[in-house]
Structure 1
């Protein structure tokens, strides 16, 4: 496995050899190790079913609802082992997880969604956080009194991210934020994520199938395949890698499905 030769930095999140099992039988991820530096942006790339969402749920504690558990390994957040903490306790520590599919309260307005997600008791702090969200997503402010079910897919994704920001997180985890969105909306949302990271120093772990968009804004990336991390490097190095170019950056044009399936057996980066 390739690794990036980068100086040691403070870590907001560290997964060490994590193994996740569903129903006490099905092994979903196998020995996954990932580091997210404080104030950094890291992408977890891979095809559908590779184990990306399971990895995020192991961090946020949402595996329990799906009869999953972290069987082995260590989860550290800000230097603290969080394996025994509930999802609610992890949110209080500063972990925000934006699930795939947006999942906003469609019967509530954006304003009401943000208030419902607020993790602070002070009305002043709640309004301050809400205005901060609207400063990042002015389109939500324009649509703040409309039922969220009537928002476009892009607007609902903005609202899902805004709801996460209302918890005042130290780590923002995003699961497929580009899913189902037009390219211009993907570019807009990724620019805003980058701005949030830059202006607030918020650490970001971005799960994506859209490697092209993800590698434009992160500093480092991990590639997961069949529940294992098979590559880790800087974003620039990943973009130059011929396998990444061929199978994750649109280089499969003109290739047969058999060729693509054969790639999973080749694994040139492991040789």
Structure 2
């Protein structure tokens, strides 16, 4: 079914720097998709393009189309996109540190919603993240990194999204916490049918939970396919999954040449 489609999208910062160049990707309804790549490849810019958050960073879509459930949403502001079921969990958690977890959840609930629905959604979040219920009276700024990431995801769920975009949810977390949070992401997808677009540098962890993945480099989508296909690709194994430690990063020309998908 129709979900999110980016068609040949280009973004420029400060009217000078071309950040993403002809990016096309799809996230079908109910699907879990990863956007992988190194630092500065264009992953976060792609998410901000979808969620409508380019403006404060002086970014502008200069070409292409973003379609959500069959409608072009480029003219919509960020709040309207949230109201249409798109939510973006930014890199770095960005919870309201002076508020409690409970108050963070209330702050994300739509204006004019019923108290009954508010309580239902809070209970749903606490079911996914019981640790937040234990800490619901603490200031969010004093939560651990993992708990803050759980709160950021929980706060996004309060908007009742049909597509949740997660920017580096594993950043700064231990492997055990990453495994726990990714398991919850998978559960949210399977139990609610919420589509997920996951931006990650931790390609190994991401490819374990997604069905389809795109690889972006220097603003271009350079490879896409099922998670199994990408995991088996020798270049992805070597440069993104750790390989066998054979990469000589001092030999830049060799490093670039080995990326056969750019040939």
Please report the TM-score for the alignment, with normalisation by the length of structure 1. Answer: 0.94
5 Å-filtered alignment, 1:35-74, equals 35-74=26-65
SS of residue paired to 1:107: coil
SS of residue paired to 2:141: helix
Q: Say if 2:66 and 2:72, in contact at 8 Å, map to a contact too.
A: yes
> Which 10-residue stretch deviates more, 116-125 or 80-89?
116-125
- Of residues 9, 14, 22, the one that matches 2:5 is 14
RMSD value, Cα? 1.1
Partner residue in 2 for 1:251: 243
With over 3 angstroms needed to count, the CA separation of the structure-2 counterparts of 1:231 and 1:184, relative to structure 1, is same
Cα distance between partner residues in 2 of 1:47 and 1:11: 29
- Of residues 98, 101, 108, the one that matches 1:107 is 98
Q: Say if 2:35 and 2:197, in contact at 8 Å, map to a contact too.
A: yes
Partner residue in 2 for 1:193: 185
- Of residues 150, 161, 168, the one that matches 1:176 is 168
5 Å-filtered alignment, 1:1-271, equals 10-119=1-110, 121-251=113-243, 253-259=245-251, 262-271=254-263
Pairwise CA distance, 1:25:
1.1
Cα distance between partner residues in 1 of 2:262 and 2:172: 32
Cα distance between partner residues in 2 of 1:195 and 1:260: 41
Q: Say if 1:247 and 1:260, in contact at 8 Å, map to a contact too.
A: no
Q: Say if 2:168 and 2:200, in contact at 8 Å, map to a contact too.
A: yes
SS of residue paired to 2:3: strand
With over 3 angstroms needed to count, the CA separation of the structure-2 counterparts of 1:167 and 1:260, relative to structure 1, is farther
Q: Say if 1:119 and 1:168, in contact at 8 Å, map to a contact too.
A: no
Q: Say if 1:174 and 1:207, in contact at 8 Å, map to a contact too.
A: yes
Pairwise CA distance, 1:267:
2.5
Cα distance between partner residues in 2 of 1:252 and 1:26: 36
Cα distance between partner residues in 2 of 1:161 and 1:264: 36
Pairwise CA distance, 1:258:
1.9
Q: Say if 2:238 and 2:247, in contact at 8 Å, map to a contact too.
A: no
Please report the TM-score for the alignment, with normalisation by the length of structure 2. Answer: 0.97
Q: Structure 2: give runs of 5+ residues left out of the alignment.
A: none
Deviations 1:31-50 (A, max 9, x none): 00010010000000000000
Q: Say if 2:6 and 2:65, in contact at 8 Å, map to a contact too.
A: yes
Q: Say if 2:249 and 2:255, in contact at 8 Å, map to a contact too.
A: no
Q: What is the total number of aligned residue pairs between the two structures?
A: 262
SS of residue paired to 2:250: helix
Partner residue in 2 for 1:6: none
Deviations 1:27-69 (A, max 9, x none): 0000000100100000000000000000000000000010001
Q: Structure 1: give runs of 5+ residues left out of the alignment.
A: 1-9
With over 3 angstroms needed to count, the CA separation of the structure-2 counterparts of 1:24 and 1:243, relative to structure 1, is same
Q: Say if 2:235 and 2:258, in contact at 8 Å, map to a contact too.
A: no
SS of residue paired to 1:205: strand
